[in-house]
Amino acid sequence: MSKGSGISRSDRRRNARREHLRGLLPRDGAVLGIDLGDAKQALALVDHDMRVLWRRNPRCAAHQLGGPVADAIAAAAAAGVPRLTVACEPTGCRCTG
């Protein structure tokens, strides 16, 4: 129950988690988030306020992301962002066989 504030307990937790993460990153930096898939990857470059600056979905294996990551670095520089943090989802073993 929100107790009249209009904000649920899960909203408060989510907001607290975001504030904690924002405190870990430089204010003048951006984050390149990478969501790994088997044949298609998802990359999103966001600023400190979570505005998307650049996005790509290359069809390649995870170990072939050098080019797209270099493109994201160039996009960050073009947007005037001097610092970049790369974040990737935790994954299990990507071994086959």
Reported in sequence order, the residue ranges of the chain that DSSP labels E, i.e. its strands, are 29-35, 42-47, 52-56, 83-88
Residue 77, classed as helix, strand or coil, is: helix
Instruction: Quote the pLDDT of residue 49.
Output: 82
Residue 10, classed as helix, strand or coil, is: helix
Report whether CATH 3.30.420.40 matches the domain 27-88: yes
Instruction: Quote the pLDDT of residue 1.
Output: 46
pLDDT in tens, 2-23: 456 789 999 999 999 888 887 8
Q: Which two tokens stand for residue 73?
A: 């670095």
pLDDT in tens, 35-92: 998 899 999 999 888 899 999 999 999 999 999 999 999 999 999 999 999 999 777 6
Q: How far apart are CA 46 and CA 53, in angstroms?
A: 5
- The closest of 41, 40, 35, 31 to 72, measured between CA atoms, is 31
* Phi, psi (rounded to 5 degrees) for 65: -85, 5
pTM: 0.73
Instruction: Quote the pLDDT of residue 59.
Output: 97
pLDDT band at 94 (very low <50, low <70, confident <90, very high): low
